[in-house]
Chain A
Amino acid sequence: MKNIALNDTHVKLNAKMVPFAGFNMPVSYEGVNVEHETVRNGVGVFDVSHMGEFLIEGPEALNLIQKVTTNDASKLTVGKAQYSCLPNDKGGIVDDLIVYRVKEETYLLVVNASNIEKDWNWISQHNTMGATMKDLSEDYSLLAIQGPKAVEAMHSLTSVDLSAIKFYSFEVADFAGIDHVIISATGYTGSGGFEIYCKNSEVQQVWDKVFEAGADFGIKPIGLAARDTLRLEMGYCLYGNDIDDTTSPIEAGLGWITKSTKSFINDEEILKQKERGTERKLVAFELNDRGIPRQGYDIVDSQGRKIGNVTSGTMSPSMGTGIGLGYVPSVFTDVGSQIHIQIRKNAVPATVVKLPFYKK
């Protein structure tokens, strides 16, 4: 089990540490509901330094990225980022990721911690054009400062006008006394804010200054448990739950990051699906009665026949209802469709809804 750079800091804050994707990670500090509410209404900080970072450089960098990802990276200008995924050659997804264009011929790929090795091997295997690849995962930390008060709370830490950084844009600038930090207007919560990429040797200083600057705004450390409830209220996919090596990006509702303006691995099959539709699709549902859907529970029809599986589920801290995602046959995918979630002995009625679950 590996430790992230600030492991001792989290332990001192009384974080509950759990093994996750090969790292000891803070799952909660004060309690998931308080942490969730802090990000929805104030500002909170996640240490997500377990995430992987690859640098792809050189004249062939774009060609490699275009080949291995579904979104069209040629649309990126320097300072812009895009959500994308790595399709495999069997119709599934190797990983989902964010692609940043850092310089003309330099791209940063941010991948899931659980997939660092798999992604590295996959991309390397397809790097027949000879782009330069570097794995920075062990050297870089990532802090996600999220919530509606993030801009105001952090503005004293940088010379950059944080309010001017648009969603999915970033600046390489000074932050918390460190030069050349990536300040990215991205996140996994739906409540706005920034993600800060810095070296492991710098992250303690960044963490300390972030908490100093945020003190008047009630800033708190936030664990992975609240990260999961926050992302699920927005309906963001989690790799390993809602998408994996066997789910296609089209089934998962990721058609919007699957582009026909370029060619990529297995594009013929995936674009055909985009055009003709798929037999099953990932839907969002809300329980009509009490109960909490959980990953792996069966989804059944009104006769009790199994029609699919819950891939993510929780009690929504913001709304107090059971919410989830799961794959069902296309006849059940219209908003308003009635399905049932098998929770122990009971088939609890649920309604297919439009995302996000949480609306400001």
Chain B
Amino acid sequence: MNIPAELKYTKDHEWVSIEGDVATVGITDFAQGELGDIVYVEVETVDETLDKDEIFGTVEAVKTVSDLFLPLSGEIIEFNEALEDEPEKVNTDAYGDGWMIKIKISDASEVNGLLSADAYKELIGA
């Protein structure tokens, strides 16, 4: 199981990469494996400011629909539009080309609530 040490994680199987006040968010390798072939990523919340844990989008595999939860409060400043035509990038490169959104973080203290790679590894029993 690929769980990069430098990233932060959530119990909803999302990863977060933080640079200054901008966080990049995607779903983990474990999550994409559980979902199977991803066929659609819908994010219609760009430019909206949402609270942590609010739904910012939806990821659809052939058989399932899953909500995507915002890992940190803030403004959604970008959606990875490459996923509109190639949602399978989430399967093939979950931590790279399969990134989903960028957030302008509004409350930096929330970062401390995210899981470390070790804590996430424990959560999924990897």
A residues apposed to B, CB below 8 Å: 16, 27-28, 31-33, 225, 228-229, 290-292, 294, 314-315, 317, 344-345
Q: How far is the CA of A31 from the CA of B36 in the complex (A)?
A: 6
Chain A residue with minimal CB distance to B44? Answer: A345
Chain B 48-83 interface residues, beta-carbon cutoff 8 Å to A: 58, 60-63, 65
- A294 contacts B37, C-beta separation under 8 Å: no
* Chain B neighbourhood of A28, CB < 8 A: 36
Q: Could you name 12 residue pairs across A and B whose Cβ atoms are closer than 8 Å?
A: A16-B36, A31-B36, A32-B36, A32-B37, A33-B37, A228-B63, A290-B42, A292-B39, A292-B65, A314-B62, A315-B62, A344-B42
Chain A contacts of B36 at CB under 8 A?
16, 28, 31-32, 225
- Contact at A31–B37, with CB atoms within 8 Å? yes
Contacts of B8-64 to chain A: CB distance below 8 A: 36-37, 39-40, 42, 44, 58, 60-63
| Least Cβ–Cβ distance between A46 and chain B, in angstroms | 16
Q: How far is the CB of A345 from chain B (nearest CB, A)?
A: 7
User: Is A294 in contact with B65, judged by CB distance below 8 angstroms?
Assistant: yes
Q: Are A315 and B60 closer than 8 Å at their CB atoms?
A: yes
Q: Are A291 and B62 in contact (CB under 8 A)?
A: no
Output the residue of B36, B40, B61, B84 with the most chain A CB within 10 A.
B36
Q: How many residues of B sit at the interface, in one of the four size bands?
A: 10 to 19
Chain A interface, DSSP helix/strand/loop, else mixed: mixed
A130 to chain B, nearest CB (A): 44
B62 engages A32 (CB within 8 Å):
yes
CA distance A315 to B65 in the complex (A): 12
Residues of B contacting A32 in the complex (Cβ-Cβ under 8 angstroms)? 36-37, 61-63
Task: For the complex, give the distance between the alpha carbons of A317 and B38 in Å.
Answer: 11
Q: Which residues of A contact B40 (CB under 8 A)?
A: 290-292, 315
**CA A290 to CA B81, docked complex, whole Å:** 14
Given A225-B36, A228-B63, A292-B60, 9 new contacts (CB under 8 A): A31-B37, A32-B36, A32-B37, A225-B62, A225-B63, A229-B62, A290-B84, A291-B40, A314-B62
Complex Cα distance A314/B39, Å? 10
B62 near A33 with CB under 8 A, answer yes
Give chain B residues whose Cβ lies under 8 Å from the Cβ of A292: 39-40, 60, 65
Which residues of chain B are within 8 angstroms of A225 by Cβ–Cβ distance? 36, 62-63
The 10 closest A-B pairs by CB, nearest first: A315-B39, A32-B62, A33-B37, A31-B37, A225-B63, A32-B37, A292-B60, A292-B40, A32-B36, A28-B36
C-alpha spacing A220/B62, complex, angstroms: 19
Give the CA-CA distance A287 to B30 in the complex, in Å. Answer: 31
Q: In the assembled complex, which residues on chain B have CB atoms less than 8 Å from the CB atom of A290?
A: 40, 42, 84
Also in contact, A317 and B62, with CB within 8 A (given A28-B36, A31-B37, A292-B39): yes
User: How many whole Å from A220's CB to the nearest CB in chain B?
Assistant: 15
Whose C-beta in chain A lies nearest to the C-beta of B84?
A: A290
| Contact of A27 with B39 at beta-carbon distance under 8 Å, contacts A344-B58, A345-B44 already known | no
Contacts of A31 in B (CB 8 A): 36-37, 91
Q: How far is the CB of B90 from chain A (nearest CB, A)?
A: 13
Distance A16 CA – B36 CA, assembled complex (angstroms): 10
Q: Choose among A27, A294, A315 the residue with the greatest number of B CB atoms under 10 Å from its CB.
A: A315
| Chain A neighbourhood of B65, CB < 8 A | 292, 294
Contacts of A16 in B (CB 8 A): 36
- Collect the chain A residues with CB atoms within 8 Å of residue B44's CB: 345
Among A225, A291, A317, chain B packs the most CB atoms within 10 A around the CB of A225
Q: CB-nearest residue of chain A relative to B40?
A: A292
CA distance A290 to B37 in the complex (A): 17
* Cα-based distance from A28 to B35 in the complex (angstroms): 11
A345 to B62, CA, bound (A): 20
- Provide the bound-state CA to CA distance between A27 and B40, in Å: 20
Most B CB within 10 A of own CB, among A27, A291, A344: A344
Residues of A within 8 A of B63 (CB): 27, 32, 225, 228, 314
Report the nearest B residue to A226, measured CB to CB: B62
CA A37 to CA B84, docked complex, whole Å: 22
Residue from B36, B44, B61, B63 whose CB has the most chain A CB atoms within 10 Å: B63
B58 contacts across to A, CB distance below 8 A:
344
Complex Cα distance, B63 from A291, in Å, reads 14
- Please name all residues of chain A whose beta carbon is closer than 8 Å to the beta carbon of B91 when the two chains form the complex: 31
